[in-house]
Amino acid sequence: MNALVYHGPRNVRVDDVPEPTMLAPTDAIVRITSTAICGSDLHLYNGYIPTVKHGDILGHEFMGVVESVGDAVKNVRVGDRVVVPFTIACGGCNNCKAGFTSLCDNSNPNQDTANIVTGHSPSGLYGYSHAFGGYPGGQAQYVRVVFADANAFKVPDGLTDEQVLFLTDIFPTGYQAVEQCDIKPGDVVAIWGCGPVGLFAIQSAFLLGASKVLAMDRLPDRLERAQGFGAEPIHFEKDDVLKELNRRTAGRGPDAVIDCVGMEAHGATIDAMLDKVKQVAKLTLDRTHVVRQAIYTCAKGGAVSIPGVYVGFVDMFPLGSLFAKGLRLRTGQTNVHRYLPTLLDYIASGKVKPQDIITHRFGLTEAADAYKMFVDKSDDVQKIVLDPAA
């Protein structure tokens, strides 16, 4: 089958690889009908995520049709159309039962590797390095879905792939990022990054009661889209972010600040430039300029939410500001499963139209060019969907 394979930093291509087979009675094989490229894939592509190996199949946003199921699978059948959350749940551990599926105790077989950096391993992830399970990803024609009863969610036939595909990651990710801030009606929410995750965070902030959303980026097309969803755009290179956030909140600062950028933040300030030098010199894995700015600008008693991905140890962390203002800090991979029913309802009722953020569609065979386009942010790209059959 065709699959998008990692061959080193900035070097991916579609190879002919063996089709997956079932390895446990709880597995299912899914024929993928749609798959997307995520900002998280770019961290792998740029070589910043340790333990990704040459030959790994990438991709964690995918859906399709169940092709075969193991003997122990009860909830899905051959022919069912399913979306598959990128965080893998076993369905049976205490964290899964409590809805914290991204913290599943059983889905990462390589916990010892993850523990070196994290202390305790989060769940396994599709197509996201060996520290997170080494699971082959879904930018492919077929994928092995593990613990299928807990991870293959049937979707109504009346909804198209493009309507439901982003339930696998970015819609729940934007939603969790806001939900974990415990927004009160009337709150002002500031969002760094108007990529796909940022745009879903903007929409979720209004769904959850924000009165105003301030959205930052430097790409004009992305700022325009953010404005289209009701946010007030701020160009972080042309405007002074601290001044603007204070000016638009009567000097208080935003009640919730959300980092939808992650470990490859841009910036022209001294700290951002230092981060860049250190990342290139491999002295740090993460560029944390946005985290610093978010904490520093947040209102007293406010909430800091970090859906943006970080992997290592960081310095110049404004602990004093976090402490002095009594801020609440929330972060993590997304507990996709817990939000699926609610978000599916938003889509079915037409309240949220996830397909509206798609700007480019390619065949899977063109995936290498699609990665290049997405990393360069050329042609006003916002979100790319790949068709494995083309």
Strand order in the sheet with 188-192: 232-235, 212-217, 188-192, 256-259, 303-306, 328-331
- Give yes or no for residue 38 binding Zn ion (CB under 5 A): yes
How far apart are CB 326 and ligand NAD at their closest, in Å? 24
* Identity of the residue, 74 or 353, whose beta carbon is nearer to ligand NAD in the bound complex: 353
* Identity of the residue, 4 or 327, whose beta carbon is nearer to Zn ion in the bound complex: 4
Which residues have C-beta within 8 Å of that of residue 315, sequence separation ≥ 6? 284
Write down the residue that tokens 């430039």 correspond to.
273
| Separation of alpha carbons 49 and 131, rounded Å | 9
- Give yes or no for residue 124 binding ligand NAD (CB under 6 A): no
Write down the residue that tokens 């841009």 correspond to.
266
How far apart are CB 378 and ligand NAD at their closest, in Å? 12
DSSP string, 280-303: HTTS-S-B-HHHHHHHHHSPTT-E
Show contacts with Zn ion in window 97-116 (CB under 5 A): 104, 106
Q: Are 64 and 30 in contact (CB under 8 A)?
A: yes
- Give yes or no for residue 38 binding ligand NAD (CB under 6 A): yes
* Identity of the residue, 2 or 333, whose beta carbon is nearer to Zn ion in the bound complex: 333
Task: Choose the binding region for ligand NAD from 28-36, 89-97, 249-257, 261-269 (rule: CB under 6 A).
Answer: 261-269
Within 10 angstroms of residue 279's Cβ, the number of other Cβ atoms is 18
Task: Choose the binding region for ligand NAD from 155-163, 194-202, 244-252, 295-303 (rule: CB under 6 A).
Answer: 194-202
Token code pair at residue 99: 């809805």
Q: Are 311 and 285 in contact (CB under 8 A)?
A: yes
Show contacts with ligand NAD in window 298-317 (CB under 6 A): 307-309
- Give yes or no for residue 89 binding ligand NAD (CB under 6 A): no
Residues that bind ligand NAD (CB under 6 A): 38-40, 42-43, 169-170, 173, 192-198, 216-219, 222, 236, 260-262, 265-267, 289-290, 307-309, 333-334
